[in-house]
């Protein structure tokens, strides 16, 4: 797909407008790529037809363009990648890395009520004839990953070494009963297809990473380097959400904020350049950005600080440039 050794991606789902957490993730990926002369790719994760909307895709692309986070071509849509997913499902089945699970939702719910918080492996070792009989009867099924014994470990660029006992990892589903692929599966297939070298995303994905590493190993793929960004928190210490009054990127654009102001503030949500400086141009952010200076502790959203940064950028920006920015908002 490209010649660079550094390739990152931002992979939003078009189920709503671009929120601040997503914008911060996109920005950190973009800054990391530009600082290291790499490529920043965009992948639209639109495999859920009931929730994905074209208008949200357009809004996300528009918001990223406004922020100045230009991406390298091609733009990937997961809805166009189903044939490739099928090929890799067949490969995993042939190597016995997946198995059919015929358990109904009621059966799984009953199992959880009995204290089995992980899938108990009911269908893990079904005989081939039993599987064939159930398939002939038209019983719906999912495909689950056969988690191997042992431990899964990796070096996180922010959190350091992480090791998980595979006994703590569920035999997770990769294909739902309706035939649709799940996130952990498609992310691995597409990151490999796109030659992604570094997966930079929110810490809410920490639990997904061991599952994905198991898939990388099962498929014989090169495992990328992972970095998990700290959560953006509200003043109550909980994950920032609409109930904290946090608007999406479009709202800041509509209210006349300069993209440099918002980028400057978002960069400081979890990253510290090691100085007391808090005002940076876009070019300065590219020059100074270093993932090793991203903190582990959650970053608290502070709208007053954003307002101050915005005011400083306005004072530093020439009138003609501000008018151009406002015209771009129209």
243 or 123: which carries more pLDDT confidence?
123
What is the per-residue pLDDT for 7? 98
**For range 170-179, the mean pLDDT:** 96
Cβ 268 vs Cβ 300: under 8 Å: no
Which of the four pLDDT bands, split at 50, 70 and 90, describes residue 325?
low
Q: In the predicted model, what is the mean pLDDT of residues 176-190?
A: 97
Q: CB neighbours of 158 closer than 8 A, spacing ≥ 6? A: 227, 228, 229, 230, 291, 294, 296
Give the SS3 label for residue 199: strand
pLDDT at 317: 81
Query: Confidence class of residue 328 from pLDDT cuts 50, 70 and 90?
Result: low
**Which residues lie below 8 Å from residue 259, measured CB to CB, with a gap of 6+?**
66, 67, 68, 253, 325
Is residue 145 within 8 Å of residue 121, measured between CB atoms? no
Q: Is pLDDT above 60 for 322? A: no
Residue 168 has pLDDT above 80, yes or no: yes
Round to whole Å and give the CA distance between 326 and 330: 7
Catalytic residue among 242, 288, 293, 297: 242
Tell me whether residue 114 is one of the annotated catalytic residues: no
User: In whole angstroms, what is the distance from residue 30 CA to residue 318 CA?
Assistant: 26
300, 301, 307, 312: CA torsion to nearest 10: 50
Q: Spell out the domains of the chain, with CATH numbers in brackets.
A: 7-77+231-329 (3.40.50.620), 81-189 (3.90.800.10)
User: What band does 323 get if pLDDT is binned at 50, 70 and 90?
Assistant: low
Average pLDDT over residues 304-328: 76
Helix residue ranges, H only, the chain: 20-35, 54-67, 82-94, 105-113, 128-136, 183-193, 208-219, 249-254, 259-267, 282-288, 303-316, 319-329
User: Which residue from 106, 27, 89 is spatially nearest to 64, judged by alpha carbons?
Assistant: 27
Tens of pLDDT, residues 52-68: 999 999 999 999 999 99
Q: Once rounded to an integer, what is the mean pLDDT over residues 236-252?
A: 82
Confidence of residue 15 (pLDDT cuts 50, 70, 90): very high
Mean pLDDT of the chain: 93
Taking residue 194's Cβ as centre, other Cβ atoms within 10 Å add up to 19
Question: Quick one: pLDDT band at residue 34, thresholds 50, 70, 90?
Answer: very high
Mean pLDDT across 150-172: 97
Q: What is the pLDDT of residues 224-243, one digit of tens each?
A: 999 999 999 988 888 887 66
Distance of alpha carbon 297 from alpha carbon 278, whole angstroms: 19
Distance CA 314, CA 17 (A): 26
């Amino acid at each position: 797909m490209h010649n660079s050794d550094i390739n990152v991606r931002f992979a939003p789902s078009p189920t709503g407008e671009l929120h601040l957490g997503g914008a911060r993730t996109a920005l950190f990926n973009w800054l990391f790529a530009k600082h290291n002369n790499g490529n920043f790719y965009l992948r639209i994760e639109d495999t859920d037809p009931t929730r994905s909307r074209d208008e949200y895709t357009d809004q996300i692309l528009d918001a990223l363009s406004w922020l100045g986070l230009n991406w390298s071509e091609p733009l990937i849509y997961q809805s166009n990648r189903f044939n490739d997913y099928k090929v890799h499902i067949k490969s995993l089945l042939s190597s016995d890395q997946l198995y059919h699970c015929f358990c109904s939702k009621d059966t799984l719910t009953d199992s959880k009520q009995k204290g089995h918080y992980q899938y108990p492996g009911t269908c893990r070792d079904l005989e081939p004839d039993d599987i064939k009989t159930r398939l002939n009867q038209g019983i719906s099924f999912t495909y689950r990953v056969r988690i191997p014994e042992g431990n899964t470990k990796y070096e996180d660029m922010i959190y350091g070494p992480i090791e998980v006992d595979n006994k703590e990892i569920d035999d997770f589903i990769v294909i739902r009963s309706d035939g649709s692929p799940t996130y952990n599966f498609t992310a691995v297939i597409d990151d490999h297809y796109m030659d992604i070298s570094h997966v930079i995303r929110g810490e809410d994905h920490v639990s997904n990473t061991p599952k994905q590493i198991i898939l990388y190993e099962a498929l014989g793929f090169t495992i990328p380097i992972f970095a998990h960004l700290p959560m953006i928190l509200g003043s109550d210490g909980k994950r920032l959400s609409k109930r904290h009054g946090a608007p999406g990127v479009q709202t800041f654009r509509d209210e006349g904020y300069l993209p440099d102001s918002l980028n400057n503030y978002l960069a400081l949500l979890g990253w510290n350049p090691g100085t007391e400086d808090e005002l940076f141009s876009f070019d300065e952010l590219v020059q100074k950005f270093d993932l090793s200076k991203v903190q582990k502790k959650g970053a608290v959203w502070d709208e007053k600080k954003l307002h101050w940064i915005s005011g400083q950028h306005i004072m530093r920006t020439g009138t003609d440039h501000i008018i151009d920015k406002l015209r771009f908002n129209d």
